[in-house]
Amino acid sequence: MDRYLLFVSTACFLVAIGHTVLELRGKVFRPMRFNFAAVGLGFIFQTAFLYVRGHAVGRCPITNLFEVIIFVAWSVALFYMVVGPTYRLSLMGAFTAPLVVVLQLVALLAPIDHPHPVKVHANSWLEFHASISLVAYGAFALACIAGVMYLVQERQLKTHQIHSIFYHLPPLTVLFAAITRLLWWGFALYTVGLFSGFFVGEPLPWIQIICAVAVWVLYGLILQGRYLHWFAPKRVAALCVVGFSAALTLLWGITFTVQTHTR
Amino acid sequence: MNLFCVGLSHHTADVETLERFGGNAEVSCLLRDSGCVEAVLLATCNRVEVYGASESRVSTLDVARCLDRKIAGGVLAEAAPFYRYEDTQCVRHLFRVACGVDSMVIGETEILGQAKRAYEAARANGGAGRYLHRLFQRAFRVAKHVRTHTDITRGAVSVGSVAIDLAQKIFGNLGACKALVLGAGETSEKTARALVSRGVTDVRISNRSAERADNLAQSITGQAIRFENWLDQCREIDILVTSTSSEVPLLSRSQLEPMLRERIDRPLFIIDIAVPRNVDANVNALDGVYLYDIDSLQSIAEQALAMRREQVAVAEQIIAEHVAEFDELIARGINRVPVTPEHPPVGESSLRPSEL
């Protein structure tokens, strides 16, 4: 039953993508209201799914890789709902929807929705640690999307090849400010998540700790590099994309080892 | 009631002819002498048009005479290539004009303001009544619709506005930007004034002749910089405009690269409008530097114009829908005026195709 909610949510995000593609093909892109509404509706169904699944498992629904991926997708949509209108990054919806759809389709199509092998008792510190870290992933994902938007615009400016989409992108400096803020939000949340892990009261596998610290160090270095002028904005944007890809891989590693560890 | 439009535009007449007819045009004679019930004159540098509503047919010659009293009947055909649209064609033409589809620069928005002013002027002097009121109000709505639902007004189509638009795409609000204009000639002055008009408050001028730099800086409330020191300014400025007559590049990659390390998180937008170019093309390869010369600005203006042309078909479709709606409205009768001999309905039968 709960998977149907996820199908409907995915359909909403697909509608947002379809709308964007049609608009871009017609070169009449007006993304603001429709995309925001479609992503908002998708977000509501995601939330409903997490609520229903949470009731079913009796705790925060991040007990297997399937649920973790959906939680990350929900965090991405959540951050878009907050950040998109705030920074007037209307086009961000057009970039956000594909990422959410990919995450949800992978979760729905891959055979990864197995019930947890052993009954995991609710541990509030563990749930806080895991959920806040995954919300931080939402901020990193949106920084990655803003990074892609930055790179697209930067390339068009450098090559002097200005396409229709260029006129809908926010100014470079505004995008870079948004990237910086998202990195800070993600890093702060992730730091809270990481340190709350010390209060879990259960032994965690070393590989999991190493992966979690690696993501923290990675984003810490990106922020450090940004403020110490090690990297130009273009490189920061590129590192946001690389960083999120690496963080997703490490997240898979963390979830996989958790499942193996509890068997 | 017969709706018509008689006019001249850049499509059919040269500038001299447009100036002759547009210079002292007025339409009160139409209302006074030729049985025209309502008339609006739209006179811009690219078109002179009279939109009218009349009980009986008003000839093109009558309109032309009104526009220029010196016209003799027999010489009209040679004197000016007037066009004439009636009823549905007139409605379509006004909608196209208001949307900028018929303009010399497709999608320009100035025409809408001019049409609004023309309508307001006619309303003030009693020239625009309920027929032209409905027609013009609908034209303004169509223009807004087209502007919102197409990209016909997107992108700058002149070199100067392309440069300023790009600056806004890089920096957003230009109010906090610092700009240095290298050169104090006519082009530099125009660019400096354009920057000030777009909100740049910190404009610096540097020129080989310090006196000319001072004069220009004073006229735009900017700051003059000694020519020997202009390169140091690259550490702090955001926009550099070069327009000197130097035969050799004034700025090379090796000169700029060390300075960029101090300002790595701030982009530098360089507009090189000098011929030959003042800035070495390799500078564009540096991170955070966006170099545009006159050719690249021209190319973007052409790309934008091409994009606008692509949007004409979409705009025409919207216009066609509105024309059909307006025709239907006319057929049903404007304002549901009681049918009396003094106020005949504006129905299908009354909006007849008139003879050309």
Per-residue pLDDT of B130-139, as tens digits, reads 889 999 999 9
In this predicted structure, the answer to whether residue A194 has a pLDDT above a threshold of 50 is yes
Mutate to test the interface with B, among A25, A32, A150, A157 (most CBs of B within 10 A): A157
Output the pTM of the full model: 0.73
**B318 falls in which pLDDT band (50, 70, 90)?**
very high
How many angstroms away from the CA of A203 is the closest CA of chain B? 43
Q: Report the pLDDT value the prediction gives residue A117, as an integer from 0 to 100.
A: 63
Domain B2-149+309-336: give its CATH architecture: 2-Layer Sandwich (3.30)
Q: Determine contact: B258 vs chain A, CB below 8 A.
A: no
In this predicted structure, the answer to whether residue A27 has a pLDDT above a threshold of 80 is no
Does the interface ipTM go beyond 0.85? no
CA separation (Å) from B65 to B26, B33, B47, B49, B119?
Answer: 10, 11, 17, 13, 21
Q: Report the pLDDT value the prediction gives residue A32, as an integer from 0 to 100.
A: 62
Question: Which range among A151-165, B11-25, B59-73 shows the weakest confidence by mean pLDDT?
Answer: B59-73
Q: Report the pLDDT value the prediction gives residue A29, as an integer from 0 to 100.
A: 56
Sort residue B100 into left (φ over 0), alpha (ψ -120 to 50) or beta. Answer: left
Q: Determine contact: B316 vs chain A, CB below 8 A.
A: no
**A90 falls in which pLDDT band (50, 70, 90)?**
low
Token pair, residue A230, equals 């090690």
Could you say which of 3.40.50.300, 3.30.565.10, 3.40.50.720, 3.10.580.10 is the CATH number of the domain covering B159-287? Answer: 3.40.50.720
Give B68-82 pLDDT, tens digit per residue.
Answer: 765 544 455 455 688
Domain count along chain A = 1
**A259 falls in which pLDDT band (50, 70, 90)?**
low
Q: Determine contact: A31 vs chain B, CB below 8 A.
A: no
The residue with greater pLDDT, A167 or B349, is: A167
Cα separation, A247 vs A244, in Å, equals: 5
Q: Determine contact: B157 vs chain A, CB below 8 A.
A: no
Q: Report the pLDDT value the prediction gives residue B89, as an integer from 0 to 100.
A: 94
Contact B155 A232 (CB under 8 A): no
CA B188 to chain centre: 23
Mutate to test the interface with B, among A32, A160, A172 (most CBs of B within 10 A): A160
Token pair, residue B210, equals 């310090």
Cα separation, B164 vs B162, in Å, equals: 6
Contact B155 A167 (CB under 8 A): yes
Q: Report the pLDDT value the prediction gives residue A116, as an integer from 0 to 100.
A: 66
Give B241-284 pLDDT, tens digit per residue.
Answer: 999 988 899 999 999 999 888 888 899 999 999 889 999 999 99
Domain residue ranges in chain B: 2-149+309-336, 159-287
Residue B193: partners with Cβ closer than 8 Å, 6 or more residues away: B220
Token pair, residue B221, equals 């409330």
Domain that holds residue A81: 2-262
- Name every chain B residue with its beta carbon within 8 A of the beta carbon of A229: 261, 264-265
Give B181-212 pLDDT, tens digit per residue.
Answer: 999 988 888 888 989 988 999 999 999 999 99
Mean pLDDT, rounded, for A181-190: 93
Token pair, residue B239, equals 């926009």
Of all residues in chain B, the one with the smallest CA distance to A176 is B265
In the block, residue with structure tokens 């068009």:
A156
How many angstroms away from the CA of A162 is the closest CA of chain B? 7
Share of chain A above pLDDT 90, in %: 34
Of B166, B264, B310, the CB nearest to A27: B310
Q: Report the pLDDT value the prediction gives residue B332, as an integer from 0 to 100.
A: 76
DSSP state of B274: -
Question: Which range among A85-89, B80-84, B97-101 shows the weakest confidence by mean pLDDT?
Answer: A85-89
